[in-house]
Amino acid sequence: MAQYNTNVPSFYRVEERDIVMPAESRLQVDLFDFQDTLGEAINGEKLIGSTVIDLEDRWHSAAWKDCMDRRQQVPTENRGLINPQLSGQNCGSIEMWVEMIDSVRASDIKASELRKPPAMEIEIRLVIRTCKNVKLWDGSKTDVKVTVDLECKEYEGVTMGFPKLQPTDVHLGSTGNAIFNWRIVYPRIVMPTKSCTMDLKLYQANFVSADEFIGAVSVDLRRYVERVARDMDMIYIEKADLQFTAGAAGEGEEGGDGADAAEEETVGSVQFEMWFMTQSEANQKRNGKGREDPNDFPQLVTPAEGRGWGDVLGGFSLSLPDLGLMKKVIPLILFTLLCLVLLRFVGLL
C-alpha cells in the first residue's frame, strides 16, 4: 500500500494475526520508500525507519490491560522510527495501536474500528468595500468592475454554485473612487492544500464589447487556511488595502506597453475585509454571493452611487446643437400642442 509524493502518509489499515507467545512476541513495523520494480532491482529496498514492539510486555502490563479491559479504551502509541544506517537522525514517527485478545474471546470481540477522519474544509469570504484612485479610462471617468479568481486545485465549492471566478457589479461613472459592498464566497477548500492564491483584477466595464483590463493584484492565502485548519479558530482581516498595478495583467490581457515603468504603475487600490473559517462554522453563518440572501455577517447594502439611471445615461455622450432663441420657444410650442390634444380628447375640437 503506497502513497506518493508525501512525507505525511495516512494508511488507516488494520492487520490481524494469530500468534503464540512468547515465541512470536516481537512485532516489527517497517516503513519503506516505494520504488518501481526496476528501481528496486537496481537499488534494493530503501528503508525509511522501523519500530519494534514487545507484545509480551504489553500483555503482562497492568496499565495496558486496565485500558483494554476495564476502560475499554485502546491506547494509541506514537512511536519513533529508527534506521540503523542513519544513526542519530530523525526518521519520522508512526501513530498506531496494538490490540491483543485471548483466542477464547477473539470470536466475540471485534477489532476496534479504524476510520479516516473527515477532511478538514475551509471557507473564505471576501467583502470588497471600495476602490480608490482608479485610473480614469477616458480621461474623465471609469465604469469600475472587479473580478476575483481563486487558484486552488483543492477547491470544491463550484458544485455548490460558487465558481472560482466571481465578478462584482459595476460602479458607473466613477471619477476615481468606487463603492461596491460586494461579497465573494469560496466554500469547501479541502485541506491540506498545496497552493491557494486569489487574483483580483480591475476592469473598465463595457456593455457592448469586452471589458478592458486596468490592473491586478495577487494574494497568497495558503498560510491563512493552514492556520485555521491547525488551530480551528476563525481569522478576520479588518479593512485592509491592496494596490492594483498595471503590469500584473493575466495571459491574453495587456497590462501596458511592456516597459518597466508600466509594470510598477499603480492604477488604483481596493479596500476589503476577509474571513477564514472552518466549513462547520461557516455552515452556521451562511452567506450568499454579492448581496444575495442570506445577506448577513455582515449585511451588505446596495450603494446609491454609480447605480442610478443618471449614471447609466451619463455613459452616452449626446450633444444637442445650439438652437439659440428656439430654446425659449420650444417649451411654448410643446405646451400648445399638449393643450390641443387635451381639447381634442374632451371633444371641444
What is the rounded CA–CA span in Å between residue 202 and residue 214? Answer: 5
Distances (CA, A) of 298 to 9, 93, 121, 182, 294: 40, 44, 22, 11, 10
Q: Which residues share a beta bridge with 97?
A: 76
DSSP for 33-54, please give it.
E---HHHHHHH--EEEEEEEEE
C-alpha cell at 349: 375640437
Pairwise pLDDT comparison (51 vs 1), residue with the higher score: 51
Higher pLDDT, 100 or 106: 100
pTM of the model: 0.65
Would the pLDDT of 275 be above 80? yes
* Residue in 196, 198, 184 with CA at minimum distance from that of residue 154: 196
pLDDT tier, 308 (very low <50, low <70, confident <90, very high otherwise): confident
> And the C-alpha cell for 207?
456593455
Q: Is the pLDDT of residue 259 over 70?
A: no
* Residue 329 confidence (pLDDT) above 90: no
So what's the pLDDT on residue 327? 63
**Helices vs strands, H then E, count in the chain:** 8, 13
In this prediction, residues 88-104 reach a mean pLDDT of: 90
- Cβ neighbours of 300 (radius 10 Å): 20
Q: Each residue of 110-140: pLDDT tens digit?
A: 888 888 888 899 999 999 999 999 999 888 8
Kindly report the average pLDDT of the chain as a whole number.
87
> Higher confidence at residue 167 or residue 310?
167
CA distance 153 to 7: 20
Domains and CATH numbers, the chain: 1-117 (no CATH), 121-313 (2.60.40.150)
Q: Does 320 have pLDDT greater than 60?
A: no
pLDDT at 265 over 80: yes
What is the reported pLDDT for 74? 81
CB of 30 closer than 8 Å to CB of 47: yes
- Decide if pLDDT at 91 tops 60: yes
Res. 341 pLDDT band, cuts 50 70 90: confident
Residue 326: pLDDT band (50, 70, 90) is low
Short-list 248, 165, 172, CA closest to 204: 172
Q: What percent of the chain has pLDDT over 70?
A: 87
**Residue 177 burial (C-beta neighbours within 10 Å; 0-12, 13-18, 19+):** middle
pLDDT of residue 334: 84
Is pLDDT of 323 > 70?
Answer: no
- Tell me, what's the pLDDT at 253? 53
Percent of the chain with pLDDT over 90: 57
Q: What's the confidence (pLDDT) of residue 256? A: 46
Task: Name 294's Cβ contacts closer than 8 Å, sequence gap at least 6.
Answer: 286, 287, 288
Asked whether the bond before 9 is cis by omega within 30 degrees of 0, the reply is no
- Residues 218-230, mean pLDDT to the nearest whole number: 96
Q: Are 263 and 282 in contact (CB under 8 A)?
A: no
Amino acid 244: pLDDT: 97
Tens digits of per-residue pLDDT, 201-215?
999 999 889 999 999
What is the rounded CA–CA span in Å between residue 258 and residue 267?
A: 15
| Cβ atoms < 10 Å from Cβ of 144 | 30
| Residue 324 scores a pLDDT above 80 | no
